[in-house]
Structure 1
């Protein structure tokens, strides 16, 4: 803004003479127009965009609804940083603002300016106007003007003077803006209009941001929106009024406009609305909300004002045969005056506006704020916010021109990823191969037109299509010389991961729960489940529905995955690349291929390589290939998420089982003297489990011991079991081991004594069973009596008034036989299966593992998110699930993953 009067001039008296240059009769000054234009020759009408900041210094905080966190400051410091961000923007804007005249102070959040435009004496009179400030809810009737700053030729230099206020302050504008104001000047009475380039102080960043927030209301409340398409289309009429028609009449050729002739010998005369919609004007992003929010739109085409409103689309469908908005260059015109885009979701809106342009890249987002209501809702996982913005915010996203493109687009993508639950944008991420320095790999490339068109669309590939594509690969088909299908070369089935996952994990570590964006580095932190490690190169084996199909081969199975990117060119297969699962809603899954990296402090982060829509595993099966037809099966995510916590809990459950809950034979009840639960048998369980593990290890190594060595090992094993069994017997019975016998001592009045002696009176026992145990009265002699007692001897022994000590012994072979036949062994086998999974995770089978299981202290809840390989077999297959865990490096652990 330029004031050209002398400093002591307080009551200007401005007149224009024949040269059309204003002069002040009070101070005898005149503006130096040519010098001013020359000094601004290289100045653009578009304000400068703040530069991007390097990673680690971004200080992200916009929009406030996004959960931001920083590793470089404490929570209180981060809160103060967020609170101070708008303040800093305001201070910066105040320093960079234009001189006070004629704008004065920054507009309040509920205020806006209007142009008071008076009639001109002649068509070529200088453009003079007055700015007036009003409240949004207390203002006169006005019109809003829709135009392009740069015009159809793209000239956005400030080269034409516009005079403002009583001092006729100079405001340089573009040629198209100046021509528009000449076009809008009324014939007789003043006109109240709103023009963004003039009514908003473009040098005040804070005001500019707040007015963008208000533009939805400004265009909704105006009486009509006047569209100015440029001097080659809109003919000024200084001596008469324009004709007025409905927009569809231009397409039906019911009336033909006359176009201005600029003396060049050629006259631009569009013959249809399709030609008009191809103009540069309709490619502006801001035009969309200006059309949708207006009550009525008026377009001057030639000498005719064509108007459009909410009924226009209906008139075209009824009165213009064969008309199709989707084949035009501006499909959104069909929604004129329909206020919002409620009929479209965000993806459709962005796809519709993907071809639209804006001089300021940030306007690709800001230009849609007024017409998309979704931006006012919050995420159920959103963190609480206590900071209040200095701006007037009606939604979760508001314009802020103090931020760089980098900060705006990262914040926008983060908002729709985390707050709006739109993980499909990860398919459009820039990824490791295309990401710019300092820009996160998880965010789409905002400079590309392709992601905007398909931002929230996932690749169109079904599980059945991938299954069909894999089973029809030439490597699996056997054909004759003429190419006819004969059979499959090998027998195989194909499996794909399906939900739902563990209920606890889906509840406590939903992918968005606790998720956040690092404010300094823009890294994305979300809960993911590690699926497998890419430990060998991928082979590209074909395409399916325009997606590349890749294979990772093993001996008994192969892993197939699809991607829009050439993974075989970017993957190294060195083991630092992993496939993670983003479990969306229990059934839908996105696979994220990440590359692991470790910094100097040992912190692990990842970079996104690609998002894959489908991953299937082909497993060889034991079937006759001539009759085998491949099946499609499921790997249940919940089955693969067998947590350490649950395994330990299961083990403790088995240990707490009461033996008396089962019907035991009397012989077994006698052997399990003083043992009430499986937990009491832990010393024996330890020996059995250790021996079982050793035998399995030797079998896996193919070791075969000689007969005498095997017999010696068996004797040592029996002796160790015998010693362990003695530790389990009640100490009151004074148990001891005599060679191959277990000896216990008890009172004849004790209940367990009746169990032993009573069974000897039952005549159905065979001779061998009678010899399984022997008794004697303690201190009555060394001879052991036969277990068979007649009724009279039985009554004499137990009915005596004198309490005696009875010693009973039984061979350890009896113990071994009982251990492997009663419910104890069945329960033990279930316990050992859980122990096998735990030993595979902790890498031990010794006392440390048993201490963890036997200990009754409360477990760490984080163990629920650490998974174990189970022993579930695949039907007819050569492998089990645990084999996949071992060979693919599966962990199925769910944790917070940092994606830079």
Structure 2
């Protein structure tokens, strides 16, 4: 119990004896060693609820993921609210607490604060702080006493938080400050998630935020003295200050500090006996430094009060290297930075009653289905998914779940793959001419859904242009395709992957529209890879004779070792526009209810077919003329280097094969 007075004490009379308080009214003093010993093994954070079991996930967060039907029986984890004299009343949703930090000109005098609650729109001007609870050594044990209110109730703090308050304590007057570990009752899950959801407002409306990097960085000023003040743009390149070296400190790896340094109107960073200030005018002067190569690539946005990236995907990509004690704070810490739509802010509102599995599944489902970020499937667990868990979502327990480079989202590899899967740099956007495309088309044909479709054998058989060609003629690309009519074009719209997409809340299975291409007829063979790239090329013989199929995929996806012919299938994801496509390798399987579906093995980024220019259409002419194909006319199949280059791809638009009505992942 943090209150150390006799139960009969109604009017405490506190005096400080040595370095501890004493109540003259009831003649007692706190037994600090006992309080510290009782708190020694307690975590400053409430425990995370356990992950749900397969088949009983009951996914319901966020509400934007379609058809997530929660179990009517509540399964949320809500620890009992302990009685606390420090926090006798839970804050309302429109309230916040601040501390009034009492003055002292004696650094050994006990730290004392008063807590005040105010309505959001009618609160006094206040400062906020940004610090690491555990400091640079990660010590999160609560062993340093802060005395609160008229009874001087004891609230135990981490050493770094205690040192930070000692630095902030004025030598005269009082200071009004918002400190998360003190102003939020961390043992009250409901209050915690409500206040965390408001942190964007709390930091945006503060007068300034004070950044505390640790007692080894700051030098407290003596009573009657004031720190020397400088601007960040005048200090960041000064070798005597060495500010850039500070970016490697543990403090800058915390996920929460990003919003704490970007949203306030003024940022103050004490270094030595100086206070370095930053605001929205400072950003332009920082552009000379390569922030993407630093431990804090988001630092260039400091003081700007918003992030150019507005949705949860782009924010998580920006903060992929940040850390948090509670894994769920990786997502909840990004929530305050969302600025694209109010719907996303409400949908992803922090909820600490959810398990880690629930939070990461929910934010991935929201990103895929609501934000249409289909490239995130490239980082799905796939073949490494645990039994009973969705194969189309990432495994958040994996060390690589958040990626290995700066362009990642949920670990999505950047570089060449990001160009192919996300941006769709087609040749017409790179200045490639029609002549260039025709040259590539002699050997390779790119498969994609578009305004064209494959011509059937019947079409080719009776085509007079083909019948009149000489055996030595090159075959133009458009011989193999024809335009679609209005009915076919309308049918294509219903084929888009997100048409009537849904998720089963119990199993996590994803039901969506895909275009079925083929079953793998033979195993795949690795045939080429480009130095310095993270992708490689695979090939297999097709079902149609003298042609080879080529796929490009990640080096970490060993399709050449795991493909099982006739069991594994290739699907195309029609995203409804002309950007680079995504080809999904799925394995047919049955769930516990004997329902057929598919598990995702992995993603490929290009699909090509290779053959001699005359092979396919002349095969059809054999049926008419009865002539035999001369294998001597067939070119030797050679993998072209351009197949591995994202800016050198032919853009012929084809629709190949047929669509299966539905496809299930993760069963």
* Fold shared, TM-score > 0.5 on shorter chain: yes
| Residue from 567, 573, 578 that aligns with 1:576 | 567
Q: Structure 1 residues 369 and 898 mapped into 2: Cα distance closer, same or farther (>3 Å)?
A: same
Q: Structure 1 residues 350 and 523 mapped into 2: Cα distance closer, same or farther (>3 Å)?
A: same
Aligned residues: 574
Q: What are the equivalent positions in structure 2 for 1:744-759 lying under 5 Å apart?
A: none
| Residue from 222, 232, 238 that aligns with 1:253 | 238
SS in 2 for 1:497: coil
- Structure 1 gap ranges (5+): 71-77, 257-270, 379-393, 466-487, 641-889
Q: Structure 1 residues 626 and 584 mapped into 2: Cα distance closer, same or farther (>3 Å)?
A: closer
Q: Is the 8 A contact 2:261 2:303 kept in 1?
A: yes
- Cα deviation digits, residues 546-599 of structure 1 (max 9, x gap): 312111114322211111144345424242211111100143431110111113
Q: Is the 8 A contact 2:313 2:367 kept in 1?
A: no
Structure 1 CA distance for aligned equivalents of residues 167 and 352 of structure 2 = 30
Structure 1 CA distance for aligned equivalents of residues 559 and 290 of structure 2 = 43
TM-score, length-scaled by structure 1: 0.60
Q: Is the 8 A contact 1:511 1:584 kept in 2?
A: yes
Shift in Å at residue 69 of structure 1? 3.2
Q: Structure 1 residues 537 and 154 mapped into 2: Cα distance closer, same or farther (>3 Å)?
A: same
Q: Is the 8 A contact 1:149 1:176 kept in 2?
A: yes
SS in 2 for 1:170: strand
SS in 1 for 2:315: helix
Q: Does 1:636 align with 2:654?
A: yes
Match of 1:2 in 2: 2
Match of 2:269 in 1: 299
Match of 2:481 in 1: none
Structure 1 CA distance for aligned equivalents of residues 653 and 299 of structure 2 = 48
Structure 2 CA distance for aligned equivalents of residues 535 and 573 of structure 1 = 9
Q: Is the 8 A contact 2:310 2:339 kept in 1?
A: no
What RMSD in Å do the two structures reach over aligned CA positions? 2.8
Structure 2 CA distance for aligned equivalents of residues 219 and 157 of structure 1 = 26
Match of 1:618 in 2: 610
Structure 1 CA distance for aligned equivalents of residues 266 and 273 of structure 2 = 19
| Residue from 281, 284, 288 that aligns with 1:311 | 281
Q: What are the equivalent positions in structure 2 for 1:62-81 lying under 5 Å apart?
A: 62-70=61-69, 78=70, 80=72
SS in 1 for 2:235: helix
- Cα deviation digits, residues 66-116 of structure 1 (max 9, x gap): 21335xxxxxxx4856xx67xx56xx24x2x23231212321111111001
Structure 1 CA distance for aligned equivalents of residues 652 and 264 of structure 2 = 53
Shift in Å at residue 345 of structure 1? 6.3
SS in 2 for 1:56: coil
Match of 1:751 in 2: none
Match of 1:441 in 2: 391
TM-score, length-scaled by structure 2: 0.80
Q: Structure 1 residues 410 and 348 mapped into 2: Cα distance closer, same or farther (>3 Å)?
A: closer
SS in 2 for 1:28: coil
- Cα deviation digits, residues 790-835 of structure 1 (max 9, x gap): xxxxxxxxxxxxxxxxxxxxxxxxxxxxxxxxxxxxxxxxxxxxxx
Structure 2 CA distance for aligned equivalents of residues 12 and 437 of structure 1 = 61
Match of 1:169 in 2: 153
Match of 1:558 in 2: 548
Match of 1:13 in 2: 13
Q: Does 1:357 align with 2:343?
A: no
- Cα deviation digits, residues 210-257 of structure 1 (max 9, x gap): 111100000010000011111000111232211111112323439x6x
Q: Structure 1 residues 583 and 152 mapped into 2: Cα distance closer, same or farther (>3 Å)?
A: same
| Residue from 399, 423, 426 that aligns with 2:377 | 426
- Structure 2 gap ranges (5+): 429-439, 453-487, 616-632, 641-648
Match of 2:302 in 1: 336
Q: What are the equivalent positions in structure 2 for 1:41-60 lying under 5 Å apart?
A: 41-60=40-59
Match of 1:283 in 2: 253
SS in 1 for 2:88: coil
- Cα deviation digits, residues 3-36 of structure 1 (max 9, x gap): 1112222221222102x12121112122111112
Shift in Å at residue 193 of structure 1? 0.2
Q: Does 1:548 align with 2:536?
A: yes
Structure 2 CA distance for aligned equivalents of residues 299 and 552 of structure 1 = 60
SS in 2 for 1:307: strand
Structure 2 CA distance for aligned equivalents of residues 66 and 119 of structure 1 = 51
Match of 1:644 in 2: none
Structure 1 CA distance for aligned equivalents of residues 375 and 602 of structure 2 = 12
Match of 1:898 in 2: 665
SS in 1 for 2:584: strand
Q: Who wins on radius of gyration, i.e. which is larger?
A: 1
Structure 2 CA distance for aligned equivalents of residues 492 and 297 of structure 1 = 60
Structure 2 CA distance for aligned equivalents of residues 6 and 68 of structure 1 = 56
Q: Does 1:274 align with 2:274?
A: no
Q: Does 1:395 align with 2:370?
A: no
Structure 1 CA distance for aligned equivalents of residues 187 and 492 of structure 2 = 49
Q: Is the 8 A contact 2:232 2:277 kept in 1?
A: yes
